[in-house]
Chains A and B, each alone.
Chain A
Amino acid sequence: MPCEFFTLQDFMTYTKGITYILMLVSLCAITGFWLFLTERDTDEPHHHSK
């Protein structure tokens, strides 16, 4: 069920609050994902697959 809001202030406080938490989680998650993605990178300019 959606939350009931009686004022725009309530709605903005609620949605912005959730968004800020998500932003924090995203920043950590994307950093982790970047490390996962580049973990096996070498410094060689050219990579060759098998």
Chain B
Amino acid sequence: MSDEKSLSVNKALTPFNMVAGIILLIGMVITILRFTGGLAAVSNLTDDNPWGIWIGFDLLCGVALAAGGYVTSAAVYIFGLKRYHSAVRPAILTGFLGYALVVFALHYDVGRPWRLPYPFIVQQGTTSLLFEVGACVALYLTVLFIEFTPAVMEWLGLKRARTIVVRLTMLLTIFGVVLSTLHQSSLGALYLIAPSKLHPLWYSTYLPVYFFVSSIIAGLSMVLFESTLSHHYFSHKMDKTHLAEADNVTLGFGKAASLVLAGYFTIKIIGIAIADNWHYLTTGYGAWFLLELLGFVALPCLMYAVGVRDRNVKLIRWTAGWTILGIVLNRLNISLIAFNWQLPSSQRYVPHWMEIMVSVFIVTIGILIFRFIVTRMPIMYEHPDYHSH
């Protein structure tokens, strides 16, 4: 008996689990410090720089990278691309966890969690973009939760409840696409108020369009990236259909991502032309902008295209990772690096190590919950009781 116990303890003590455990421990200590000592105790946020990496990374990148849910379900249910059906559940799960963690991360920034429903029940502030973002995120998180429940119901054996939810699929998908279109673009629109603070190469009246189009790229790439990791770590949880469709999904999503990247590249160039910002390209910030535009938009666009033409699944998967880095770079450029660009470096915001640690803590929680769900619920395989449903 004791041998069995020590065996299971040894099995749980993997390097990943130990590192995750340490991160969770540090994260919990910082959480206590944050909610007892205030923002100043754990962050470099000030009245001059009130938005740091918790907004730039956790929120802006989190929402963009969680776009895989609406992109995949729209492709399968609205555009009828049923051959990508096996990608829906993992994408919905990633989206749901992404949004749930965005809301969780927001608590570190705004504090007083009990006031989260205030915009809906106390002070609407309907003229504020933040109200629209808040309302959409709250509603879309609910939609993603309902879209995810069939997997939980199959796991728990709740057949009747599952049947009711499955019937709502099309309605939920349409609702999800509408809500995503609204808030993905509104996150970009938040920066329209700061033309004097954001560098002209990143500032544009088309920022809402840029954010929305790039969210499609982020969603497609995130589905590919998540699928790559799942194939590496959870291939034993995949059924034949999932494994057989995997390459097809990779090629299809790679092609879509390549085309959207080409469109995104075009509208970025048109943005420079319409504001006559060409002369900024020869400056230091111009070089940084070109690195983002050529290295993380044009290059992955070409790499995806070559991968699709050559049926090179490995290249497409690597490109997905590279594109995700590009999305993160873009959001950090807009929210932090090119923001307040005219200020001397002494007045610029640099994140505190504990702010970074909170972000790592939240990502780790996401990975652990993803692993918990995928190893228990029918995400990568069809439940034997519900074939052809």
Interface residues of A (CB under 8 A from B): 1-3, 11, 14-16, 18-19, 22-23, 26, 29-30, 33-34, 36-40, 45-50
Contacts and interface: CB of A to CB of B under 8 A. Distances in A.
Given A22-B273, A26-B270, 5 more contacts: A14-B276, A16-B274, A33-B262, A34-B259, A40-B309
Interface string B306-322: 00110111000000000
B258 A37 contact: yes
Interface residues of B, number: 25
Contacts of A19: 270, 273-274
16 contacts: A2-B278, A2-B279, A15-B275, A16-B274, A18-B273, A18-B276, A22-B269, A29-B266, A30-B266, A33-B262, A33-B305, A37-B259, A40-B309, A45-B83, A46-B83, A47-B248
Nearest to A2: B279
A48 B273 CA distance: 42
Contacts of B274: 15-16, 19
Of B248, B255, B273, B313, the most chain A CB neighbours within 10 A belong to B273
A26 B263 CA distance: 9
Of B83, B250, B278, B305, the most chain A CB neighbours within 10 A belong to B305
Contacts of A26: 266, 269-270
Contacts of A39: 309
Contacts of B239: none
Interface SS, B side: helix
A43 to B, nearest CB: 14
A50 B308 CA distance: 13
Given A36-B309, A37-B259, A3 B276 contact: yes
B246 to A, nearest CB: 10
A22 B270 contact: yes
B247 A49 contact: yes
Sort A-B residue pairs by CB-CB distance and give the 3 closest, nearest first. Answer: A49-B311, A2-B279, A26-B266
Contacts of B275: 15
A50 B147 CA distance: 34
Nearest to B277: A2
Contacts of B309: 36-37, 39-40
Contacts of A23: 270
B297 interface: no
A11 B83 CA distance: 50
Contacts of B248: 46-48
A26 B247 CA distance: 31
B276 A15 contact: yes
Given A11-B276, A46-B83, A49-B251, A37 B270 contact: no
A46 to B, nearest CB: 6
A50 B313 CA distance: 9
